[in-house]
Amino acid sequence: MSTITSVSTDSTNLPASVPWLETNGVNWPIFATRFEIAVVAKDKWGHFTGATSRPSYDIHPITEDQATEIHQWDKDEAVSRFLLSQRVHDGTLYLVRHATTVTEQWVEIVKYYTEKGAYAQTSLRQSFL
């Protein structure tokens, strides 16, 4: 008898396969990979990369459809922020608290943990010399 594994389609929760990002960044590569896979599956990755920008219109007042589109983007942005907050520790959230979009938060997190990983690798190499 085979076992069927169900995958949650809930857009506001990450699967258990996405690990917490360790504060020392030791698991950054696997975290970033699994996080991206999960967020792409939830159709929110564009909020992290900046590919999905907030709609803006030059004509005022905006139409009801345009208002709905803006509201949906704002909702998706909030869900994206929530997804990120589920797998990073408080200190990491504190580092990016001033960012106004999840894109800005993600860029800062990527930079911080990429640099931290490079520093750790250099330090490790020097300890073997």
How would you write the pLDDT of the chain (129 residues) with one tens digit per residue?
545 444 455 778 999 999 999 999 999 999 999 999 999 999 999 999 999 999 999 988 999 999 999 999 999 999 999 999 999 999 999 999 999 999 999 999 999 999 886 555 555 455 555
Task: Reduce the secondary structure of 15-46 to three states and give it as a string.
Answer: CCCCCCECCCCCCHHHHHHHHHHHHHHCCCHH
Alpha-carbon distance of 9 to 34, in angstroms, equals: 16
- The answer to whether the beta carbons of residues 26 and 116 sit under 8 Å apart is no
